[in-house]
Amino acid sequence: MENIIELKNLRKVYRIGEEKVIALDDVSLSIKKGEFCCLLGTSGSGKSTMLNLMAGLEKPTKGTIRIKGQAIEKMSEKKLAKFRQEHLGFVFQSYNLLPMLTALENVSMPLTFKGLSKSVRDKKARDMLKAVGLETHIKHKPSQMSGGQQQRVGIARAFVAMPEIVFADEPTGNLDSRTTKEVMGLITEMARENNQTLVIVTHDLEIAGYADRIVHILDGNIEKIDIINARRVSNEEADNIISGADAVPAGV
Ligand code: ADP
Ligand code: MG
């Protein structure tokens, strides 16, 4: 089994003046290629910190983050930026679209690093906007779209360059329940179609229900792990489930 993400003894301590906040205490976790892994926990439990470390947006205080076998915490800023452009996509709670750019321009942005001509970039961005149901809104600016539409642009942007891993931090946090279902359906479908790995942060158990595995985060540690779809996840426990009930000792 191929582990595309491997976290070993990750720790993140923030210091503000004299105060010390242990955002992540000591976290180890492996995520398999193609897995949909959800980090579930209450506000302040350390979910975003964990995701930001995995996505190379922050450096750990201690521990290692391997993505595709490469220790990203050791990379130079320049190498890390390139690595992120090539392999990672990100969906934010607040969409983070560039306000002056149209939907098409926002979505084609990640392709500018790929050495493609403008017409090819525009075609890929247009196809992606079509896939999220926004073919009629390609010239709209973020302020001319609803929250749900803006997040669909955000999803199109995260997936357009076909990254192997997509990270999403509370992607439906600002959306109503109907739009939440649409957006979650879109993200899950897109990732499944291309066997992309998906790591989503949420405090919402209903969102977590879409995942192959739910990692419960409490006070900067992994409290417990629920396996929903054993075949798709990286876990010794899952291996036991797959090899049959006989392999699991009675009472476990
Ligand atoms: P969650 O995403 O689960 O709500 P976070 O990872 O954002 O939690 O935060 C975990 C803890 O770390 C919280 O106590 C938070 O206040 C603290 N924290 C997060 N980011 C910073 C920062 N940049 N500076 C100081 N403290 C931070
Ligand atoms: Mg958070």
Burial (CB count <10 Å: 0-12, 13-18, 19+), residue 77: exposed
Between the alpha carbon of residue 161 and those of residues 35, 41, 139, the distances in Å are 19, 30, 20
Ligand number nearest to the C-alpha of 53: 1
Residues 6+ apart with CB under 8 A from 19: none
Residue nearest to atom 26 of ligand 1 (CA): 14
Would you place residue 245 in the very low, low, confident or very high pLDDT band (cuts 50, 70, 90)? very low
Which string of DSSP letters, residue by residue, matches 133-169?
Answer: T-GGGTT--GGGS-HHHHHHHHHHHHHTT--SEEEEE
Residue nearest to atom 21 of ligand 1 (CA): 14
Residue nearest to atom 11 of ligand 1 (CA): 23
pLDDT (tens digit per residue) in 144-200: 999 999 999 999 999 999 999 999 999 999 999 999 999 999 999 999 999 999 999
How far apart CA 163 and CA 191 sit, in angstroms, is: 10
pTM of the model: 0.92
Burial (CB count <10 Å: 0-12, 13-18, 19+), residue 161: buried
Ligand 1 mutation target, pool 11, 49, 218, most atoms within 8 A of CB: 49
Backbone Cα Rg of the chain: 19
Residue 186 Cβ < 6 Å to ligand 1: no
How far apart CA 91 and CA 133 sit, in angstroms, is: 17
Residue 41 Cβ < 6 Å to ligand 1: yes
Residue 252 pLDDT > 50: no
Domains, the chain, in order of start with CATH, read: 33-59+73-242 (3.40.50.300)
* 35: alpha, beta or left? (left if phi > 0; alpha if psi -120 to 50): beta
pLDDT (tens digit per residue) in 104-127: 999 999 999 888 999 999 999 999
Q: Ligand 1, closest atom to CA 42?
A: 3
Half-sphere exposure of 75 (CA within 13 A, CB side): 20
